[in-house]
Amino acid sequence: MRLSTYEIILPLVGADEKPIEGYALLVNGLYGAMDVVPKEDADRLQAGNFAGLSAALRERLMLRGHITRKDEAGELADLKLFSRIYKNVQGRMGVGLVIMPTYDCNFRCPYCFEQHRLKKGQDWLDNTMSDEMIEAVFAALKDYKARGYVVNGCTFYGGEPFLAKNIGVVKKIAGKCREMGLFMGAVTNGYDLEAYLDFMEEYKLGSIQVTVDGTAELNDRRRLHKNGLPTYDRILRNVELALQRGVTVRLRVNVGKENLHGIKDLVDDLKARGFIAKEEERAKEEAELRKTDLKAKTKRGVFSYYFKATTDDAHPEKNISEQDTIDEMMKIGFTAEEAVARQSQYDMIWYRMNNLFKKESYPDFSPAYCGAETGMLVVDPFGKIYTCWDVVGKDDQVTGYVQPGMSRFLWNFNKAKWRTRTVDLMKACQTCPHALICRGGCASRSSNAHGDYFREFCGEVREIFAFVASRVAGREWEKRCAAAAAGEACMDACAGELTLSLAGPASRFTNAERETIMSTTSQKEIFDIVKATAFLPEPAEAEK
C-alpha cells in the first residue's frame, strides 16, 4: 500500500483568505477525487504511516484512489485507459470550426504572434477566401456531419476577420453557416465593427472577443493601428453598439509589464462608460424573465472582461506571470474570488471544480490540453488547414487542405502528430500528479520554450492549481460546515468527499475489457464496453 503517484496535498484557504486550521485538501490528479481530511491525517499520508489512519478513513481513501495497492505502472495503465476512452468516445467526433476570411489586419500590435505573416507582403495579405473555396469548405463540412462529426459553431478569425472592406466575403461565409444552423462568433479587434452592425442582426452573430490593453494612451500604444490612428475610444464605442444588438462581448486585456499597473484605470473607465452598471441591470432583467421562461434572454448582449498575461516572444523581458495579474487585481480591491473570475487561466479551474462539487458528473479525464489535439479545424483563405490558431500561416504546420471541386478534407501526417500530443503519450507527463490537470500544456508555448511543439509545457499550472483549489475547496468546506452547524445538513463520514472519483468506475473493467479497449481499432467496440460498465453517466449522450 502506498500514496498514489498522482497525489497532491494542499492547505485549505477560507473566504477570509486565511488558512483553515486543522484540515488539508487531498487531490488525486488521476482519478479526480478531492477530499478534506484532518491535517494530522494528511501528515500521516505523506509520511507513509497508513496504520496511523482510522480504519474507516483508510478504507475511504483506498476506494477513492488516494492510497493504492497498484504500483506506478498500474496507475499509469489507468491513465492510458482513460485517455483511450476519451479519444474514442468523448473527444473524437467534435469539431471546433474556425474560418479565416483573410490574413490581413489593420493593426500592428507589437506582441502579435502572427508577425511572420507580414513578411509575405501586402499582395498576399489582401487575399480573401474565394467563392469556390467557401463552397468547398462547406461541402467538406457537410460530408463530415454526414459521417457523424458534430459541428455546432463557427468562429471568424484572422488577421482581422471583420475588416470593413471584407464584409462581402464574411456574409457569404455566414450565409453558409446559417444554412448549416451553426452558432457564429468572432475574434476581432473591433475597430471596423460599425460596418458590421446590420450583419450582426441579420446573421444572428452570437458573440465576439475584443481586446483592449488599458485606457487610451496605453491601449493605443499596444493595440496599434497600422496608420498610427487612435483605437481605444472607437473600439469601446463599437463594443457598446454590438451589445445593443444583443451580441455577447468578452473584453480581453493582454497584460505585460507595460500596462500591469493600468488595470485599475481601465476598470474605472469601464465603470464610467456604463458597461458595468448596464451589465448588472441586464443580468437582473434576465433573472426576472427566466422566472417564467428558463431560456429567456435580454435584448442587450452579455458583457464581461478578463485579463491574460501577454506572451511576447520577441520581447520576453516585458512578460509577466499570470499570478501577477491576480496580485494586481487584489491590490486594487478585488476579492480573490472576483480576481479569479477575471483571469482566464484561473477561472477555468474554479469553474470546473465548483461543477464537480455538485457530484452530477465524474471528473474530466481528457488527455488533451485544448482543441488543437482533439477537433479544432482552422481553415485559412487559401484552403490550408491548421489544428491550432497560434500557428496559422506557418507552412510546416499545415495539417490538411481544402480543394475546390472536392467535398472532403485532405489530411497529411501533421494531423496525426497533433492529435497524438496527449499526456498519455508524453513521457515527461505520464507520471506527473498534474497530468490530467495540465494535460501537457500549450503546444505553441512549448515550441517557443523548447523549439518543439511536441514537448511538455508546464508553465504556471502547479501554482495556478494550488491557488485556486485551496480556495474553492476551502469555501465549499466552510459552506458544508456552516450548513451542518445550522442543522441543515449532517456532517457524516463522507462529508469530506467533495467530488466523485474515477477510481470506482475504473475498477469495473475486467482485464479482458481493458485489453480490448487498448488494442481494438473499433470505436464501436470501445463504446459498447464503456456503456456496459456504465463508466460514463448516460454514455449515449456522450456519443452524440
**H-assigned helices in 342-412:** 344-356
**From residue 100, how far is each of 129, 197, 375, 412, 443 by CA, in Å?**
8, 20, 17, 20, 21
Q: Which residue type does 239 have?
A: V
Q: Which residue has the higher pLDDT, 317 or 25?
A: 25
Architecture of the domain whose range is 92-320: Alpha-Beta Barrel (3.20)
DSSP-derived 3-state class of residue 242? helix
**What count of Cα atoms within 13 Å lies in the side-chain half-sphere of residue 40?**
3
Whether the predicted pLDDT of 537 surpasses 70: no
The CA distance from 80 to 401, in Å, is 31
Q: What is the mean pLDDT of residues 26-52?
A: 96
Angle at 90 between CA 87 and CA 91, to 5 degrees: 50
Q: Strand pairing partners for 94?
A: 150
Q: Quick one: cell of 53? A: 489512519
Q: Dihedrals φ, ψ of 227, to 5°?
A: -100, 10
Q: Which residue has the cell 477525487?
A: 33
Q: What is the mean pLDDT of residues 404-411?
A: 92
Q: How far is CA 54 from the centre of its chain?
A: 40
Residues in Cβ contact with 96 at an 8 Å cutoff, skipping those fewer than 6 apart? 153, 155, 371, 374, 375, 376, 377
The CA distance from 103 to 129, in Å, is 10
pLDDT in tens, 384-394: 999 999 999 99
Whether the predicted pLDDT of 92 surpasses 90: no
Q: Quick one: cell of 27? A: 487531490
DSSP string, 184-221: EEEE---TTGGGGHHHHHHTT--EEEEE--SSHHHHHH
CB count in 10 Å sphere of residue 288: 11
Percent of the residues in the chain that have a pLDDT greater than 90, as a whole number: 87
Q: Which residue type does 39 have?
A: K
Q: Strand pairing partners for 155?
A: 98, 185
pLDDT in tens, 243-286: 999 999 999 999 999 999 999 999 999 999 999 999 999 999 99
Tell me what pLDDT residue 543 has. Answer: 37
The CA distance from 306 to 281, in Å, is 20
Average pLDDT over the chain reads: 93
Tell me whether strands 376-379 and 94-99 are parallel, antiparallel or unpaired.
Answer: parallel
Sort residue 32 into left (φ over 0), alpha (ψ -120 to 50) or beta: left
Most confident of 302-316, 467-481, 482-496: 467-481
How confident is residue 544, by pLDDT bands cut at 50, 70 and 90?
very low
Cα dihedral value 176, 181, 182, 186, nearest 10: 70
Q: Which residue has the cell 490550408?
A: 384
How confident is residue 542, by pLDDT bands cut at 50, 70 and 90?
very low
Q: What are the domain boundaries of the chain?
A: 92-320, 511-537
- DSSP 8-state class, residue 108: -
